[in-house]
Chains A and B, each alone.
Chain A
Amino acid sequence: MEQLLQQVLAGLATGAIYACMALAVVMIYQAIDHLNFAQGEMAMFSTFIAWQLMRWGQPYWVAFIASVVLSFIGGVAIERVLFRPIHNAPILSQIVAFIALFNILNSSAGQIWDFTIKSFPSPFGHKPFLGEPLIDTHQVGMIGVTLAMLGLLYLFFRGTRLGLAMRAAAANPESARLVGIRVGWMTALGWGMAAAIGAVAGMLIAPVVFLEPNMMLGVLLYGFAGAVLGGMTSPAGAVAGGFLVGVIENLAGTFIPYVGRELNLTIALVLIVAVLMVRPSGIFGRQVVTRV
């Protein structure tokens, strides 16, 4: 029983990262109806920027905030320079552009910081939480930061004019343009926010998986699984889905012999295919109906 509880808690902790990635993926999906296959690499790159700033002697929080801000600017820039000109191109071109971005970020990170693994500090430390050996402070921190981010996003989208404008631009671009919303910039803003959320996710997971250019591939896959499970049309659903796949991964790893530990990526594959087949809109998403 204790083992079960511990695995669920650990699952929630890793699930927090998947939830962040799923949230970032859904942000971009909402804005342009595309999955950002380079989301993980963008997060990895942001984490390297924070690491570099710390190497230059900046304290953790300065590096953290600088990395989030730079990522936001980078996200906006990527949308303006790369994806704006091809937003009407066929789906193949768009996916190819994502893959191109993936490659460029991955191999330039390898060029600049090489492929050796690096340790990344945690602001929360790794002590037992409240004297409980079940979960440590970093894991609690991950869960807390994810929930706080979700809360902020909720307030932003519900409570501000800009958030309302972004929702309008995503829901109905033509009408939004007619009432004076600059739809293009709303999309760019969505990209920037996704990049910033990804940066936070990268910096939270880096103390756990260590920092290296390929660290986000598996995380991204689980992020996708979380987004699909929760529903691509619902940010809160994506976060719930992220937590859920984290728990599923940990429980499968503990209680299914062989398969769970060694085939954890295959579990993500099966999960994605199963959800897409049985309930393509996810648990919390709404059904999207298109006219033919």
Chain B
Amino acid sequence: MSAPSKESVAFAPPAVAAIGRRAALSDPKRLFVVGLVVAACVIPLLTRSFVTFQLTQVMVYALAILGLNLLTGFNGQFSLGHSAFYGIGAYTAAILMSRWGIPYFWTLPAAGAVCFGVGFLFGLPALRLQGLYLALATFALAIAMPQILKFRPIEGFTGGVQGLFLDKPDPPFGLPISADQWLYYFTLAVLLVMFAGAASLVRSRTGRAIMAIRDNPIAAAAMGINTALYKTLTFGVSALYTGVAGALGAIVVQFVAPDSFSFLLSVSFLVGLVIGGVGSIPGCLVGGLFVLYVPNIAESVSTGLAGAVYGVILLLVIFVMPAGMAGFVRFARARLSRLRRS
């Protein structure tokens, strides 16, 4: 069935194709994305290097939250253990760089591959665990992770409690930008590729299968979707995204230590997910911005307050705005268009 339709597109008169392209450009959503990318490219040239550094971290968090979102938002599996995958990614990068002197850009695929493997393996028992029990198992994983990283017999690799320090990569080809700016652009490039990948994954046949499992696992299985395979694969891909984010995070902060990958980090991802909107890809960016800046603001009011602020905001979102920022935008747009029509 698909062959004739392909042909008809290929033989479409050029005028129609041009109209199609113009429509695509004037599509407000696409225009917004293009504008955002242009703005993202310009910002580091205008701001101080500390702001650039912070925005790089925002992108790292956004990527990690996207990983969690693929699992929770699109596949309906729950995880409180993504800090563990983030930590594994970060440690993979750090060990490869500091012990074997591998260049930083090669550590990203390595971290992704390792985390995909670990996530896939953890996804196997997770198949038998629904909702609550999966949350419990991943909760246990998150709590156990710092201890595993501190484990004495592997101290030679992981650096034990002290962690590992990394060098900041220099911009290549003698580009006239600072190291912070280069890291920003590097992270931006990775972010764009991975966001585009996630968006097309979700729109594909595979993505529809993944979402069908979320909406009704029994009906999905009855339609011939191999739920076990898709669920474990989604777990793996989700861990891959968060692991790459972890590797980027390690390169950006130039330091890894076991206690930075505690349960609280998982809570941060969860907060970002819920704030940005469960099942919304652009929402992950909002989530990233939120988890970087809001704790800072809360800490400036009173130290140790960040946790309480997180908690109160989480409750507010659950009660007032259950679909997060993305849901709010959708709601506002629907309201606006109704106003315009009347």
Contact = CB atoms under 8 A, between A and B. Distances in A.
B315 A82 contact: yes
A100 B128 CA distance: 27
A33 B274 CA distance: 22
A224 interface: yes
B132 A263 contact: no
A150 B304 CA distance: 37
Given A262-B152, A263-B148, A269-B141, A91 B136 contact: no
Interface residues of B, number: 43
B307 interface: yes
B192 interface: no
B63 interface: no
A85 B306 CA distance: 25
Interface stretch (A139-147, A170-178, A248-256, A273-281): A273-281
**Residue of B128, B136, B270 ringed by the most chain A CB atoms within 10 A:** B136
A64 interface: no
Given A91-B131, A92-B278, A228-B136, A276 B125 contact: yes
Contacts, number: 130
Nearest to A108: B308
A99 B147 contact: no
A110 B143 contact: no
Contacts of B150: 262
Nearest to A259: B151
Nearest to B131: A91
B230 interface: no
B136 A224 contact: yes
What is the interface of chain A mostly: helix, strand, loop, or mixed?
helix
Contact of B305 (A107, A265, A268): A107
Contacts of B78: 91-92, 95
B314 interface: yes
Contacts of A277: 125, 128-129
Interface string A253-292: 0000010001111101100110011001000000000001
List 3 tightest A-B contacts by C-beta distance, closest first. Answer: A107-B307, A104-B311, A103-B311
Interface of B: 72, 78, 80, 125, 128-129, 131-133, 135-137, 139-141, 143-144, 147-148, 150-153, 218, 263, 267, 270, 274, 278, 302, 304-308, 310-312, 314-315, 318-319, 322
